[in-house]
Amino acid sequence: MHRRSDGEALAHYTSGRAHLIIVGRNRLPAEKTFAYISNTAENPPLHQFRYCDASLITNMEVLAKQISGVISKVNFLVLSLGYFQVWTGRNETEEIDRLFSEKTLRS
């Protein structure tokens, strides 16, 4: 059976008992993933979408605080930049070099 996402695969292997918080810029794929996952558990798992533009570290800090208010532990984390940016100049908003921060995230 074809899986459209890591979230679907995780839900499949945990028999639908996985708490999923999908983070991104586009809610529609997350909603499709949640709709795909059928759950008949007595205590249904948490399924949430959180918007975040991960190109700014400030946004990631806010997101981490939001998620830590909902759950106490993350067991599985996947990061996909989802785009390739040719421009590698300085981000004046955070005074960091974009190329450096993206390489750091990939390490």
Residue 2: per-residue pLDDT: 43
- Is residue 105 assigned to a domain? no
- Are 41 and 14 in contact by the 8 Å Cβ rule? The answer is no
- Is residue 26 assigned to a domain? yes
Report whether pLDDT(88) > 90: no
Residue 19 in tokens: 């708490």
- Is residue 64 assigned to a domain? yes
Structural domain of 72: 6-82
Each residue of 38-50: b (16+ CB within 10 Å) or e?
Answer: eeeeeeeeebebe
Top-confidence residue, 1 or 95: 95
Residue 76: per-residue pLDDT: 81
**Average per-residue pLDDT for the chain:** 75
Cα within 13 Å of Cα(46), Cβ side: 12
- Is residue 92 assigned to a domain? no
- The domain total for the chain is 1
- Is residue 97 assigned to a domain? no
Residue 33: per-residue pLDDT: 82
- Is residue 96 assigned to a domain? no
CA distance 34 to 24: 14
Top-confidence residue, 77 or 68: 68
